[in-house]
Amino acid sequence: MTTNVGGVPDQPQSEHETDQVSQNLKKEQGAKRKRMKERSEVWEHFDKEDLPSGMQAICKYCGMSYKCGAKKNGTSVLWAHISRCRKYPFNTPKDSKQSLLSFKSAKEPSGGTSGLTYHKFDAGSIRKALSFMVIVDELPFKFVEGIGFRHFCGVIEPRFNVPSRITVAKDCFETYLTEKRKLKNVLKRCNSRVSLTTDTWTSIQQINYMCLTVHFIDNNWKLHKRILNFCPISSHKGDDIGKEIEKCLLDWGLENVMCITVDNASSNDTAIGYMRRKINGWKTGVLKGRFLHMRCVAHIVNLVVSDGLKTVNESVQRVRHAVRFIKQSPARLQRFKKCVLDEKINTKKGLCLDVPTRWNSTYLMLNAAIELQDAFERYSGEDPHYVVDLNERDGKGSPDSDDWNNVRRLSEFLQAFYDLTLHVSGSLYVSLNLFFHELVSVAVLMKDLVSSDDVDMCLMACRMKEKYEKYWGDPEKINLLIFIAVVLDPRYKLDYVEWMITEIYDPIVASKLVDNVKVALNALYEEYRVSSSNDVNREEVSSSKDGKTPLSPKHKKIEVLKSKYKKHKCERDGDAKIELDKYLEEDTAEDIDEFDILSWWKFNCSRFPTVGRIARDVLAVPVSTVASESAFSTGGRVLDQFRSSLTPRVVEGLVCAQNWLRASPFPSIEECLEEVELLEEDLKNMAVGDADIDEVLEIID
């Protein structure tokens, strides 16, 4: 019996209530047994509570309760709740009004336009982005196992399990295979010819690699450059190189090759001969491979200039020693900078030393030093060790006014070759039609210097002209596509080419060269005209076969008569000559700096379909085997330590995939110098001591 609130005893309990109490006591006694720990991870998100309605699982985030404890109440319903709980912090909201938004940059590899996009956690997408980063930024696979990177990933996205280096390597190779399939489809859909360039690399284990790059203009008249293969070669023999090129072309399904640009090694001549025989055997060559061999212009320029600089005068050596003296000490460099400020020289150029394998560094060194001439002269009066040290080193002394005049003339001369190399080594624009103009300017400049009163400059120009004549003086050795590309430039055409040839060559050589250009142009047009007619006939046969309803005998006869009429009209009107003559006789386009030759042909190829096809194939031909960032180097490229340690197949996948995914080219030496100069300017504007600035800049150098 119990007592109520007012102290009045309650009525005796019924028998039913007594039985209920006894059952509860039994349950409590049974509960005293040791309970097993819940093994499911779902209980990290729920609390158990014993409520009057029975054992309940209460969500820690939203308070929703579910029955639990009984055998029929499993954890499936609890997992289902967590996956859709709106207050669970790691769930992506499905309500469009509460979606997570992220800003997408237009520079992202997925392409498209910039703007806000819906964000959803996807481990697969993150792994693809991780492999993209490793490939594009040339990171070692072990980077993903670094403590700092794993900590960063844990903070930015705890749900993502960072893969091991083995998994990342597999993902990178899968990316390579995916991108290769995409590029194959692009090349298959493109109905133009391709041109190739070859280059060699060396690993730190002295393993030689051959890099084969394809250049083509797509159906939208956009120029593309893609690495096809990066494979080891057993030797530098011409036949071995040719076999590797053939193997690559067969793997990619490429047969229509217009031109192959190589450097001047004798083995490359043999390799081109081997490929000419193969391509002619495939019956896909242009005029039996007449234009297949293109010599690398940048390599020839390097040979011409390097040969001329062997006779470099003492003035250059004095300037070089003066620059080296100042750059050897941070204190000297700081004193020199003060001289620049005192002389009020407004320039952002800094002192730089040249290196033997990069003749452009000599030009850049002289070009910068010339602008700082007054600072050098002021420095010589403030530092007594300057003149003494330069006199004791080799007895040549410090540069005087005559030396500065000499290096100024040399710098102006080298600038012509410097500009030529930059213009023809670009990989993002058409360069073949630009080379002839640079060739003319250099030829005229050397012609003037050969008859100069300056003995040193005359001697250097004579040595350069001798090397120049070896490669570009013989009409039989020049690839005539160099001139035909200018003819296909609507700003100049054939008359311009004829006139310029007569200006830079001797009359006999010029006459022969002009005749060769005209014959080659007409032969090229005729072959493309016949090829176009065959393509049209094949398309007509294909379309008639693919038609849903077969033509009746009556319609077949009409189609045959129409085809005969077209041929009759072509023969009557002289169509084989009219289109080319129309193009050549039409007024030239305006010669402006912003002129885009590919855009012009894109909008005019319908008027000149056959000439347009020639232009599309010819303008894709590169005149240099190397990109502008390495065009001045006479030394070979070397693989870094990480890539040298990998197997050739993995190296090929990383190099090719990086080329396909990378959005921008490597920075050039000039760009690196500009970055250092900008950094120096920013540091000056910061509250940092002069000594600290010099220390930072010395570390960067």
pLDDT digits (tens, 9 = 90+) for 633-688: 444 455 666 666 778 888 889 889 988 988 544 344 444 445 555 555 565 555 44
Contacts of 674 (CB under 8 A, 6+ apart): 348
**How confident is the chain (701 residues) per 10-residue block, as mean pLDDT?**
41 47 50 57 87 86 85 84 84 53 54 58 88 90 92 88 92 93 91 89 75 92 91 85 93 94 88 94 91 90 83 82 90 91 86 79 89 91 86 77 88 87 81 89 86 82 86 85 95 94 89 93 93 58 45 62 64 64 92 91 93 96 72 50 76 88 52 52 52 43 44
pLDDT at 293: 94
Distance, in Å, from the CA atom of 316 to the CA atom of 399, rounded to the nearest integer, reads 9
Q: What is the pLDDT of residue 483?
A: 95
pLDDT in the model for residue 629 = 41
The confidence score (pLDDT) of residue 191 equals 86
Tell how strand 257-262 and strand 293-295 pair up: parallel
CA distance 197 to 268: 11
Q: Which residue ranges make up each domain of the chain? A: 302-511, 669-700
CA 326 to each of CA 77, 292, 318, 320, 335: distance values in angstroms, whole numbers, following the listed order:
77, 50, 13, 10, 9
Q: What tokens appear for 483 in the block?
A: 């001139």
**Cβ-based burial of 102 (10 A; exposed 0-12, middle 13-18, buried ≥19):** exposed
Contact 405, 319 (CB under 8 A): no
* Pairing between β-strand 637-638 and β-strand 194-202 as defined by DSSP bridges: parallel
Q: In whole angstroms, what is the distance from residue 236 CA to residue 231 CA?
A: 13
Secondary structure in 3-state letters for 382-438: HCHHHHHHHHHHHCCCCCCHHHHHHHHHHHHHHHHHHHHHHHHCCCCCCCHHHHHHH
- The pLDDT of residue 457 is 83
pLDDT score, position 429: 85
Name which of 340, 245, 267, 309 is nearest 684 in CA terms: 340
Q: What is the pLDDT of residue 500?
A: 93
Residue 615 confidence (pLDDT): 96
Return the H-helix or E-strand segment holding 218. Answer: none
Give residue-wise pLDDT tens across range 185-224: 999 988 899 999 987 777 767 778 888 999 999 999 999 9
